[in-house]
Structure 1
Amino acid sequence: MTGRLAREPFDENGTRVPAPRPGGHAGDEPIVAVDELTVTFPGGTRAVDGVSFDLAPGASLGIVGESGSGKSATALALLGLHHGTGARLTGRIEVAGTVVDDGDPERLRRLRGATAAMVFQDPMSALDPYFSVGSQIAEVYRLHTGASRREAWSRAVEVLDHVGIPHAARRAAEPPHQFSGGQRQRALIAMALALRPKVLIADEPTTALDVTVQAQILDLLHGLREETGMALLLVTHDLGVIAGTVDEVLVMQRGRIVERGAVRQVLSAPGHDYTRDLLSAVPRVDAPRQRALADGAAPTEPLVRLVEVRQDFPVGRGLVPGRHRTVAAVDGVSLDVRRGEVLGVVGESGSGKTTLARMMVRLLRPTGGRVEFDGTEIGGLSDRRLAPFRRDLQMVFQDPISALNPRRSVGESIADPLRTAGIRDDTTIRSTVREWLARVGLDPDRYDAYPHEFSGGQRQRVGIARALVRSPKLVVCDEPVSALDVSTQAQIIDLLAQLRTELDLTVVFVAHDLAVVRQVSDRVAVMHGGRLVELADADTVYTDPRHDYTRSLLAAVPVLDPDLAAERRAERLALVR
């Protein structure tokens, strides 16, 4: 085999002597062997370029890099998932003795699930919304084992219980939409475990999850590896995720491996400039804030005032005909958003933070309480009477690909607020949009390009341009960087900071990533169960939190020190027991 990044020693006869590997023993044959893998997509884009690595039985390996680095393309190749896509593969892949790259359909079918299984990033895309979670796990089990329906259902309930789904026998009969995001990811892990695979490949399994659920999923993967002896390949852009989860790490850039080593060594003393750049881009809760207000003092005049706001949503059917039961997504919250500040809003999924943010810009009308903007009560205004305020109330959404119309150019999407404002002159519109494309760091000549032609970070820049094109007073950013890699995340945060200064914006920054929130916020509001449980300046919240819930959130934030990560995992497991 040629091109191996870290070669084993050879004896005097020229025979390779395998060195001890994390999770294995000297002499172990690798469970995964990849040699000079190249993946070229239609059109000539080489996503993976000469990648070689081994994974020993029971060992764990992390692959990290930015979007487009080739890490997911490498992971998909291990299960032959590029076959039939038009991609061209060269090199050799062997998983548990199965040669993957020859594309034999029957061989690949036996490999997937039974020998190696994959957990994907988005469980809602990976699970069929029309069938119960249990039936989908049972079907996989039956296809590979020939088990009866009763046996397969029993196995589905067993693995759901194993991954921590409460009341697994009952929950197995429910469809995916009745599971939370973290529970859906647990269900995917359960499906992967049903056939007791020797290798588990997890592709960005925690990207869209809040910090506490992310910690639970990572603890689960770690515990399952120790319990079952399976090997783990973890693909992620978050270096904090790998610190306490894997033994070794590969760093990929533009399809190539640029660094490999023990996770402790790579994180503490990286040898490649690219790795150092990735580490420097990782936001940290223990680092001082990068930016404070220009005048050094917090403003006190409120631009937005919420007084006992409430938002009730219907759930199911009530006992009385014509009436529905309701749940309070936001339950009596009062706070001010000060003119010119950045207010961070944090909390787990379901805490009410996004609902609160949408009421601030009146995308939702509160069911109780008052929303005041610049001294005027807007909470109860009709859409017609609210129209004059729309210019000053803007939102940047979490998922730019969903927020942008795929059938319209990005230029026309940015132009929509201008046309809504009554501007009809196409020359003026095009000139203004081109100016904003340049302002957010995009090529003005791409006015007529479509969303699919842009990367995730570029699409988020388009969303920011559309929100700011009419120079609003308030911008609410709802998880604007949660799906982006750390370097792109840092670029978007820098852009927002620059535009905030230039335009004298007031910003509400909603996120589940506490490290990001600390870097950008003057004050931080902590939401839990629809209520505001803590509100203080950023330094106080992070260095001297007053509420137990805030402390639990901070304790779940990934850290770059493997020893500290292991210590915190042990503390979490002790609390569970």
Structure 2
Amino acid sequence: MTDHLVDVTDLAVDFPVGAPGSYVRAVDGVSFTLSAGRALGIVGESGSGKSTVAAALLGLHRGTGARLTGSVRVGGTDPATASPAALRALRGGTAAMVFQDPLSSLDPYHAIGDQIAEVYRVHTTATRRAARARAVEVLDRVGIPDAARRSRARPHEFSGGMRQRALIAMALACRPRLLVADEPTTALDVTVQAQILDLLHGLREEHGLALLLVTHDVGVAAESVDDLLVMREGRVVERGPVGEVLTTPTAAYTRALLAAVPRLDAAPNPAPPGGTPGRSPGEVEALGSGRSPGNGGRAGRGPAPQGNDTAPTLEATALRKEFGRGKRKVTAVEDVSLILHPGETLGIVGESGSGKSTLGRILVGLLPPTAGEVRHAGAAPATGIAPGAQMVFQDPVSSLNPRRSIGESIADPLRAAGERDGSAVRRRVEELLVRVGLEPGHYDRYPHEFSGGQRQRVGIARALAPRPRLIVCDEPVSALDVTTQAQVTALLAEIQRDLGIALVFIAHDLAVVRQVSDRVAVMRAGRVVEEGPVDEVYGRPAHPYTRRLLDAVPVLDPLLAARRRSARQEVYA
């Protein structure tokens, strides 16, 4: 009899694909154990199989046509063969899962408290009143203020961090022994991410929960787990105590993965052995800059223009943006002035709701300012979409039409500019596909046929189509794993170097912003509270808010992470 809560031996998962009887292997020979009170992190690139392993622990592949071999035991139950009653007991009382996107996991039509109460009643014999009380109790435990009142709110009335807390509360409702968290902090800014990670750590200490954390962010794993399992292409390439894996990795892939992690110290990282993991030879040739994938291409680019010898690409003066009227009026941007020169990158950082995305939309003309003005290349104040300005959005899936080929999507700005020669349009699009590391033959393929990183390359190609002077990138790498992030940021840096484009890089990931920017503006509650050369702002932050943001960035040293967590708890107390 084992004392392990989770025991996985030689797990393999095949998914059906194409013709009947054809399968593709997503997980191949994975084995690990997890005991009560311990935390195991599974890291790897997109497509490495880490989420597939997590789903197998709760039997989520049942009924999908997937083929599982090997052995999986959670609290003594095999989720693949358990009866419906046993599987329900496993998913409620023994294990619970927290998914990446709380908005798609919560029913938009029902109050948060009602949804948690429903889960509790399904797995217990509790009355409606008792279930409601339990919902308020767990919402209070995960830090939702005024839990009784907020339990009556619907998901859209919660912020992203509060929705993630609500999902954790739902998972805790039936007092599970295992919490499986699949990318629980991917879309959150650094301060909210730190709060969620602190919450998970506190729950482990308080209830003796076991935690399986799936993440592509190595820094998040360093802050949260005891042991680390590194996956690539469905297989485990390295495992061990988190401190050992991060400081003395034995596998070349792990070393390459760590080399791709953006760091606050901005020191150029050495090129990983054998090239960047997950990057095809064609992609390496397309990037062709010779820069480290971990420094985003900033190192070696040379000093940014200082502004005395070239006309500014962008001038924004005293911008203000208000939404709503009367008592419902909200000021999203207040008294913001910026200047940007050719070939320069301005990073904009801040928490969710700080106004940075609204500012980005004003700069390209997607939103008109309530007050203030924006000038492009010294021209008169812009109204409407500014000529010479383009935008790369956070989610390439929602910004690309799924019913149109990527070539047609890239061609849209050309046709909007009046280009009517179909063959000329196709030639230009094919050139752009090559420019961003794709192939001319991809013109007729559709968005669902590409990975997340490839779709973001398509978004960059579309932005480049009308030969802009300015590109505003709004969270362009937030949903990508670290090596794909490095590829995209290196691509942007190469394009900027070759074409002299000015970039505004909006992100909640302060380490990425440090690696790609010449200057940085820190936003809070619609205002720029600090602005200057990136090395100065990061090295000697003048504003307490900037210091708080920097202190929340995950680090790769588990001991330092523990000390910082203790310091945050003292502040909260």
TM-score by length of 2: 0.92
> Which residue identity does 1:299 align to in structure 2?
Q
2:523 to 487, 510, 527: 527
1:356 match: 359
Offset of 1:397 from its aligned partner? 0.2
Write out aligned runs for 1:429-444 (5 A). Answer: 429-444=425-440
Do residues 51 (structure 1) and 30 (structure 2) align?
yes
1:473 to 469, 474, 477: 469
- Measured in 2, the distance between the counterparts of 1:418 and 1:324 equals 43
Distance (whole Å) between structure 1 residues aligned to residue 433 and residue 82 of structure 2: 44
Match status 1:312 vs 2:319: no
Aligned residue for 1:257? 236
Once the two structures are superposed, the pairs formed by residues 152-551 of structure 1 within 5 Å of their partners are 152-288=131-267, 290=295, 291=298, 294=301, 296=303, 298-300=305-307, 301-314=311-324, 323=326, 325-379=328-382, 381=383, 383=384, 389-390=386-387, 392-551=388-547
Distance 1:559 1:294, change over 3 A: closer
CA distance in 1, matches of 2:9, 2:89: 22
Q: Within 2, Cα distance between the matches of 1:496 and 1:420?
A: 24
The aligned residue for residue 71 of structure 1 is: 50
Q: Name the CA distance, whole Å, in 1 between partners of 2:51 and 2:513.
A: 28
Partners of 2:314 and 2:114 lie apart in 1 by: 48
SS of the residue 1:112 aligns to: helix
Displacement of 1:332: 1.3
Is the partner of 2:456 in helix, strand or coil? helix
Q: 1:17 aligns to what? A: none
Deviation at 1:439, TM superposition (A): 1.0
Counterparts of residues 65-104 of structure 1 (less than 5 Å): 65-102=44-81, 104=83
- CA distance in 2 between counterparts of 1:420 and 1:87 reads 45
Contact 2:305 2:342 (8 Å CA) reproduced: no
Amino acid at match of 1:341: E
- Measure, in 2, the Cα distance between the counterparts of 1:28 and 1:562: 29
Paired AA for residue 108 in structure 2: P
CA contact (8 A) 2:304 2:344 kept: no
- Counterpart code for 1:547: H
1:165 CA drift (Å): 0.4
The AA in structure 2 aligned to 1:137 is I
| Structure 1 equivalent of residue 9 of structure 2 | 35
Using the alignment, how far apart are the partners of 1:297 and 1:399 within structure 2? 29
Q: TM-score, normalised by structure 1?
A: 0.91
Distance 1:162 1:324 in 2: 33
Contact 2:121–2:128 (8 Å) recurs in 1: yes
Count residues in correspondence: 537
Kept in 1, the 8 Å contact 2:316–2:337? The answer is yes
1:558 partner letter: P
Structure 2 residue runs of 5 or longer lacking an equivalent are 18-22, 269-294
Query: What SS does the aligned partner of 2:403 have?
Result: coil
Name which of structure 1's ranges 364-373 and 530-539 shifts more when overlaid on structure 2.
364-373
What is the rounded CA distance, in whole Å, between the counterparts of 2:99 and 2:389 in structure 1? 36
- Structure-1 separation of matches of 2:265 and 2:427: 44
C-alpha deviations, 1:376-398, integer Å up to 9, x for none?
2435x2x4xx5xx43x1100000
The Cα of 1:287 is off from its aligned counterpart by: 2.7
Distance 1:69 1:486 in 2: 13
Give CA deviations for 1:277-308 in whole Å, capped at 9, x if unaligned.
11000000023374268553532142211111
CA distance in 1, matches of 2:147, 2:301: 53
Kept in 2: contact 1:28–1:57 (CA 8 A): no
- The CA distance in 2 between the partners of 1:347 and 1:518, in whole Å, is 13
